[in-house]
Amino acid sequence: MKENPETDIEAGSHRISTELSRNLTLLHVTMMGVGMMIGAGVFLGVGNAIKVAGPGGVILTFSLNALIAMFTAMSYAELSSAIPKAGGAYNFARIGFGRGTSFLAGWMEWFASSVAGSLYAVTFALYFVNYLSQLGVITADGIQLLLIEKTVAVLIASLFIYINFRGVSETGNLGAFFTLGQTATLLFIAGVGVYTVITDPVRLENFKPFMPNGWDKLLITMGFTYVAFEGFEVIAQAGDETIDPRRNLPKAMIYSIFIVVFTYVGVAFAAIVGVKDVGMAPWQWIGGFEAKGFGEAVSQLIPSYGNILVTITVIFASTSALNATVFSATRASYALGRDHMLPPVFSKLHAKRRTPHMALFFTGTIVILTAAFLPTIDVASSASMMFLFLFFLVNLCVIRIRRNMRDEMNYGFVMPLFPIPPLCGILIQALLAAWLIHMSWIAWIVGPAWIASGIIIYYFYSRHKATRTEDEIVVLKEAPIPEKKDYRILMSIANPANAVSLAMNCYKFCEAKKDKTEIEVINMVPVPPQVPLSEASKYSQAGEEAIGEAMLYLGSRGKFGSTMRYCRSIARGIVSAASERQADLLIMGWHGQGKEGFTLGSNVDPILERATCDVALFKDCNQKQYLNILVPYAGGPNATLAMEVASIMVDHNSGRVVVFNITPPGQPTQDVDAFIDETAPKINTPRSLFEAKYAIAHQRFITLLEEAKDYDLVVIGATGESFLKQQLRRSLPETFALHHKKALVMVKAKRQIKSFIKRWI
């Protein structure tokens, strides 16, 4: 998320001032989510799913999709509680991965919700026109009937585009009314199905065979109907317009999933048991009607008024879903315009209605064109495809943001069992997306084509126009080494006072690595949050002086580069720079004091945990040479790096490095001599420089503290425990570092596989 300040400042000065009205309650946003989900999922999904997977397949399809959706819903809930503003996945990706990825997220979000809206308009048209045909009002067939259906779809889409223009209160109130109506009627149908089985248990024979076409067909039906579980997406879009969003958005997402899966399974069950005496297997009879199979099944279940009940339900369900998807798609494109990813016209608000009317206009255009020209099955598959791509990205975002920015976020909801839910969601969604080709190959053309067009727009327009957000890392001044070739050290300095001492210690590493060292100095400029970035230069003087001091000392001792950056989190800025510059070692100073809520400090703790390279933390290391160095050894993953750093810091002519092990009474002693024999050749250091020392003691901390008094320097490995575990119990290395009053270096070695995951995830 590294950006150029000049572009940001210039663009920021022309930013359109926007403010949406905050009127939506928990009921409103929950009903918007439910309304977006209960639509085509029932009316189109039941008939098609039964045809492909059989009677048992449709029940499992909705149940398993709900489970998968819950994985992603928890990701949305956590991120929405921390980033509650219009834009949804676009905002999450902007913070998690930067501008390019966030534009694609918003671009997919806009298209997915728009296409889903057209699907609900088509669903309404299919059932409404079919009912009028049964009444004899419409007698057309063939191409004429298709044209009538398309016309009705365009008209109902236009109506709800206008309702969204009227304002968020009208959108929320009308959406809640329609959603409550549809849910009540669908639950009534489910109740009739249960009553039918109680009075006539033979109807359960309709479930035989349970999976007539094989279990692999589940992947096809799950991929096709996954669009029916995307309601948490519209809830995430309402962050700027919801009352108390940090609490209400997560609640609405979780509540909506439970309401919807209960409704889906209930009505699918009722549709299957409602069919009797049709001259063939009931599931084949329902599947033969495909998109209209649900309506035909309910007509069998409730002969006297099944058709009118289904029609009423379709009116409620498809229109509430259409209303919600138009709202969601509009907010996605509005967010892109707000940050100048798309032309600023997208973020204009109507002077009276306070609605993003221009974003609504472009969204309505996509909805109407898709409803008018794409076949129904391809509309549904294209929407599912795009949502699968989008949810895949959101699950990646929640992992990355929790790891890199949890100390910066104010969470209203934190998912349990992290990171299992998002990882499960990622794997399953990738599988479902791949399997969708069996349902619609057009979806695998439309989806990637939309993404490709987004990449082109971002490359030629958005990346040059986008404005800065407060979460981004901004490069204020930079003279980097363009290409890494050898051993690269990133040295973080905060002020001129410690620049020379850090440079002096950095020089020792340069000597040890001979002529292979590349040095880059980073200074994170401490711009207060309330100060605009255009004023950052007023806070950069100390950093410039510190870099100058370091350059005077190190400039002639290898390749030298520097960078000055601003980030809301200094730790994130340093970790990001270390990863971006492919550093092998990060050197930084430490004042030797902890901070409330942290072990070693608000910057040091996350850097030690998240850095993708070796880290060396220096405290009071102002001597040019050290004669007596102590290396506490307990067999941890940082022991080899501690020995290497000690061998670099010690005077090779008359110094010594003591590797010290303390073992509690009754426990086996670590073989320090064997460790030295094995490690010395690896770090190209004479064995004679090291000696082993052992101690048996109950109180390891007191013994180590007393032993350290006789040495010039202590080099100790950091704990391998996570930051969260350290909050519960401070480990020995960190406790010792806080109490030891003399020179100390704390090190933490990178782990190859873990560092690779950190770098990319």
Write out pLDDT tens, residues 53-94: 999 999 999 899 888 889 999 999 999 998 887 777 888 988
What pLDDT sits at residue 573?
87
- For the chain, the distance separating the N- and C-terminal CA atoms, rounded to the nearest angstrom, is 14
Are 480 and 369 in a shared domain? no
Same domain? 348 vs 374:
yes
Is 559 within the bounds of a domain?
A: yes
Would you state the pLDDT for residue 690?
A: 96
553-557: long-range contacts, CB 8 A cutoff, minimum separation 24: 553/499, 553/500, 553/503, 553/504, 553/507, 554/503, 554/506, 554/507, 554/510, 554/519, 557/507, 557/510, 557/517, 557/519
Final residue before a domain boundary, out of 559, 589, 619: 589
pLDDT band of 716, cuts 50, 70, 90: very high
Asked if residue 619 and residue 567 are part of one domain, the reply reads no
Q: Look at residues 534, 558, 589 and tell me which one is the last residue of a structural domain.
A: 589
Q: Which residue matches tokens 């933490």?
A: 748
The pLDDT value given to residue 533: 63
Residue 227 lies in a domain: yes
In a domain, 382, yes or no: yes
Residue 224: pLDDT band with limits 50, 70, 90: confident
pLDDT, mean of residues 531-539: 69
Number of neighbours of residue 227 by Cβ within 10 angstroms: 31
Q: What is the pLDDT of residue 613?
A: 92
Q: Do 227 and 82 belong together in one domain?
A: yes
| pTM of the predicted structure, to 2 decimals | 0.72
What share of the chain has pLDDT > 90, as a percent? 29
Instruction: Tell me, yes or no, whether 129 and 249 share the same domain.
Output: yes
Collapsing DSSP states into helix, strand and coil, what is residue 177? helix
Tell me how many domains the chain contains: 3
Mean pLDDT of the chain: 83
Please indicate, yes or no, whether residues 351 and 440 belong to a single structural domain of this protein: yes
For the chain, what percent of residues have pLDDT higher than 70? Answer: 89
Measured CA to CA in angstroms, residue 539 lies from 476, 528, 534, 710 at distances of 11, 9, 11, 42
Q: Which of 252-261, 540-549, 613-622 has the lowest mean pLDDT?
A: 540-549
**Do 402 and 549 belong together in one domain?**
no
pLDDT of 168 reads 55
DSSP class of residue 617 equals E
Q: Is the model's pLDDT at 722 over the cut of 60?
A: no
Map residue 240 onto helix, strand or coil.
Answer: coil
pLDDT of residue 758: 46
Quote the pLDDT of residue 250. Answer: 93
Say if 415 falls within a structural domain. yes
**Does one domain contain both 191 and 268?**
yes
Domain check: are 487 and 390 in the same one?
no
- CATH number of the domain that 237 lies in? 1.20.1740.10
CATH number for position 659: 3.40.50.620
Among 558, 589, 620, the domain-final residue is 589
Label residue 33 by pLDDT band (50, 70, 90).
confident
Q: Are residues 138 and 267 in the same domain?
A: yes
278-301 pLDDT, tens digit each = 888 888 898 888 777 888 888 888
Query: In this structure, what is the dihedral angle of CA atoms 236, 242, 244, 250, given to the nearest 10 degrees?
Result: -30
Question: Would you call 652 helix, strand, or coil by DSSP?
Answer: coil
Provide the pLDDT for residue 576.
Answer: 86
Residues 422 and 534 in one domain: no
| Residue with the larger pLDDT of the pair 158 and 443 | 158
- pLDDT for 536 equals 66
pLDDT number for residue 489:
92
Average pLDDT over residues 452-467: 90
Domain extent at residue 690: 593-761
Cα–Cα distance for residue pair 97/442, rounded to 1 Å: 30
On whether residue 257 sits in a domain, the answer given is: yes
Q: For residues 109 and 114, what is the distance between their CA atoms, to the nearest angstrom?
A: 8
326 found inside a domain: yes
Write the DSSP assignment of 472-495 as a string of letters.
Answer: SEEEEEEE--SS--SEEEEEE--S
Same domain membership, residue 201 and residue 59:
yes
The answer to whether residue 642 is domain-embedded is yes
How high is the pLDDT of residue 617?
95
444 falls in which pLDDT band (50, 70, 90)? confident
Helices (H), 20-141: 26-37, 40-43, 45-82, 89-96, 99-135
Model pLDDT for residues 505-528, shown as the tens digit of each residue: 998 998 888 767 889 999 988 777
Residue at 518 is within a domain: yes
